[in-house]
Structure 1
Amino acid sequence: MSPAPSRFSRLLAMVPYFLARQGIEMSVAAAELGVTQAQLKTDLEQLYVCGLPGHAGGDLIDIQFWDGYVTVLFTAGIDRPLRLTGTEANVLLVALRMLLDAQGALAGDAIRRAVAKVEEAAGASRAVVIDDGTDRAEHPASAAIREAVAAKRALALRYYTPSRDALTERIVDPIRVQVVDGTSYLDAWCRESQGRRIFRFDRVQEATVLPEASNPPADVVAVPVALPTHDASLPVARLAIDPSAVWVVEYYQARLLEEADPADPTAPVLAELTYASPEWLARLVQSLGGRVSVVSDDERSRQVRALIDASAGAALARYGAVAEGGSPR
């Protein structure tokens, strides 16, 4: 049997349901709707005081059910299907497009079917929505993650952690999937670290659904988590980032300390970045060609700058050896 719908969904469907089955016995209706007779009576009592704005005698839904049978006397217009306006259709289509671009939280095929249904329902009232045909291929691990969450199964992951520049393998108990700023995240309990962790879909290299049930601690599941999260035990560096490299903030989950200055579009922005390895942070800063610099002055930040200077000095020495006719070592 399919799961019973939520009460709100059930209430929306009840008037046309009973209108098409005038005089149906309450016990039969309760069985078809997947609820108890007591719940059905409560729902009908709720419907009896619903209707059009004003809530006067002729505006409320009128359903008779006192004798054990249900008859609709007045629908207050809820039996008439609504047609989306062009604006409403476009809002839905744009929202669906954003979900499609989020890559992971929902199946792309399901979203495209929803788009087709909205367009068909809107009909001639639908305004033109530009589709540039740039849908990206779904990440290979996304389907497995969704399956594990829906089936409440554990997951085996191979995950890339940028702050450590490393691939790790771990078993996790999925809690939920969330989308933040167009990025899909898996909220899960990590058995290896014995803690709650957040995994970006696009950094999961492989995901395998395991036969065992997902069993995160109940006290952890009950507490919502802000996304993305950061490990407080790791060091933090303050960075000055050129506006041309501000994408670093989003990609490496840094925290902006100040927004770009509209009066000076060339001024760097300040951000804090959590990292695990000074060598990794030094390589990151070097790879960005001077567009990012470490400006914090704690011992670890000074170590990072020393690594950058030593690497730059070694590179210059190699270039000098080549220029003098030698060979790089």
Structure 2
Amino acid sequence: MSTPETATARLTRLLTMVPWLVNRQGIDTEQAAAELGITVEQLDTDLRLLYLCGYGQMPDELIDAQWENGRVFVTNADTIARPLRLGRDEALTLMVGLRALAAVPGLGERDAIERAMAKLEEATGASAEAAARVEVAISEGVEAGLLSDARRAVEGHRRVHLRYLVPSRDESTERDVDPMRVVNLDAKWYLEGWCHRAQDTRLFRMDRIEALEVLDVDGTPPPQAELRDLDAGTFTPRADDTLVTLRLGQGAAWVADYYPVETVETAPDGTSLTVTLRTADTLWLRRLVWRLGGHGTVVAPAELAASVTEGATAALAAYGVEPATGAGG
């Protein structure tokens, strides 16, 4: 089964296709499809979409595409070939983004950023004054030296030694990591690399790195190391992670929205949800169920349900409270 085409990929092709066809009026449909690297069926689908596109809603503001008798004609598409001009808000947004990029410690190619900023300031004038009043704090929560050392390790392919705080276990761990990239996601910095302790790719929040030492050791990741797809967020469950089933009462229904669950089933009476999710570390999940205060129950696996029950029983015993019956909740 072929992978579905993303909207970004299709938009990129359409933006390339229009001026290409405008300069090749009457080109044969099969030849056009072959040179564009698509099928004739896909070309037909794209042309039907272009027929509805333009800079307005009136007929004379829409692209005119005709492809009858095996030849393609695209007209009324001159506006797409005109150089785009940035509006005031767009220019300001771009300038703030460049300032944020320039604020990243250890970043190279600053000359290119400064040249782009100078051109924008010259072209926009008043927008430059507005951008100058914006304070950028992209490294908030992370020491500049730590971020700079991490980037230097990535660029130099050097292994790093970390002392990393694991909040779910409230402990610091020592580990060697072959860094692969430094990335900012949702206003937080992460170091991704091959962790020799876990023998797998791991994503480390940099505000939880207590110490980082760049070693004089080659840090090239092994062939099996793969960068995670972060489009959906920082948490990416794996097929071999533990599959957990939870039953959630109305007071814990928010869990289904807050965490990346795989399935959600609503009870016939609407009073509870049954969800499944995957995790490589069940310690945080035990704490979650305890925090739900009886509104959440572990259905499977049985060993996790027993562990949750034992922990809850021990906590209640410390307060002299007799636990209620029921496993995993």
TM-score calculated relative to the size of structure 1: 0.50
Q: 2:179 maps to which residue?
A: 174
Gaps of 5+ in 2: 1-18, 25-82, 323-329
C-alpha displacement of 1:243: 7.0
Is the contact made by 1:244 and 1:291 (CA closer than 8 Å) also made in structure 2? Answer: no
1:225 pairs with 2:228: yes
Is the contact made by 1:98 and 1:182 (CA closer than 8 Å) also made in structure 2? Answer: no
Q: Deviations over 1:64-118 (max 9, x none)?
A: xxxxxxxxxxxxxxxxx99743132134246458869xx97976xx7xx869657
1:297 pairs with 2:300: yes
Show the 5 A alignment for 1:79-158.
Answer: 84-93=86-95, 95=97, 117=118, 120-124=121-125, 126=127, 131=134, 137-140=140-143, 141-158=146-163
Is the contact made by 1:275 and 1:281 (CA closer than 8 Å) also made in structure 2? Answer: no
C-alpha displacement of 1:317: 1.2
Q: 1:207 maps to which residue?
A: 212
1:237 pairs with 2:237: no
* Bigger Rg over Cα: 1
Is the contact made by 2:238 and 2:278 (CA closer than 8 Å) also made in structure 1? Answer: no
C-alpha displacement of 1:125: 5.7
C-alpha displacement of 1:155: 0.7
**SS at the partner of 2:150?**
helix
Q: 2:28 maps to which residue?
A: none
Q: Quick one: which amino acid aligns to residue 124 of structure 2? A: G
C-alpha spacing 1:231/1:258, structure 2 compared with 1 (3 Å): closer
Task: Output the CA distance in 2 between the equivalents of 1:246 and 1:133.
Answer: 34
Number of aligned pairs? 227
Gaps of 5+ in 1: 1-50, 57-80, 320-329
Q: 1:216 maps to which residue?
A: 221
C-alpha spacing 1:191/1:298, structure 2 compared with 1 (3 Å): closer
C-alpha displacement of 1:168: 1.5
**SS at the partner of 1:154?**
strand
Of all paired residues, the percent bearing the same amino acid is 29
Q: 2:191 maps to which residue?
A: 186
C-alpha spacing 1:133/1:144, structure 2 compared with 1 (3 Å): closer
Is the contact made by 2:201 and 2:227 (CA closer than 8 Å) also made in structure 1? Answer: no
Task: Output the CA distance in 2 between the equivalents of 1:271 and 1:98.
Answer: 39
Is the contact made by 2:142 and 2:189 (CA closer than 8 Å) also made in structure 1? Answer: no
Q: Quick one: which amino acid aligns to residue 226 of structure 1? A: D
Task: Output the CA distance in 2 between the equivalents of 1:275 and 1:246.
Answer: 18
RMSD of Structure 2 on Structure 1 (CA)? 4.9
Q: Quick one: which amino acid aligns to residue 317 of structure 1? A: G
Q: 1:198 maps to which residue?
A: 203
Q: Deviations over 1:283-328 (max 9, x none)?
A: 4443x46397344332133224313430442244179xxxxxxxxx
**SS at the partner of 2:320?**
helix
**SS at the partner of 1:126?**
helix
Task: Output the CA distance in 2 between the equivalents of 1:88 and 1:188.
Answer: 35
C-alpha displacement of 1:146: 1.3
**SS at the partner of 2:286?**
helix
Is the contact made by 1:104 and 1:139 (CA closer than 8 Å) also made in structure 2? Answer: no
**Between 202-211 and 192-201, the greater mean CA deviation after superposition:** 192-201
Task: Output the CA distance in 2 between the equivalents of 1:290 and 1:204.
Answer: 32
Out of 313, 316, 326, the position equivalent to 1:310 is: 313
Is the contact made by 2:99 and 2:136 (CA closer than 8 Å) also made in structure 1? Answer: no
C-alpha displacement of 1:157: 0.8
Is the contact made by 2:193 and 2:203 (CA closer than 8 Å) also made in structure 1? Answer: yes
C-alpha spacing 1:123/1:104, structure 2 compared with 1 (3 Å): closer
Is the contact made by 1:160 and 1:203 (CA closer than 8 Å) also made in structure 2? Answer: yes
Is the contact made by 1:156 and 1:207 (CA closer than 8 Å) also made in structure 2? Answer: yes
Is the contact made by 2:153 and 2:160 (CA closer than 8 Å) also made in structure 1? Answer: yes
Task: Output the CA distance in 2 between the equivalents of 1:303 and 1:268.
Answer: 21
C-alpha displacement of 1:245: 7.3
Task: Output the CA distance in 2 between the equivalents of 1:118 and 1:256.
Answer: 47
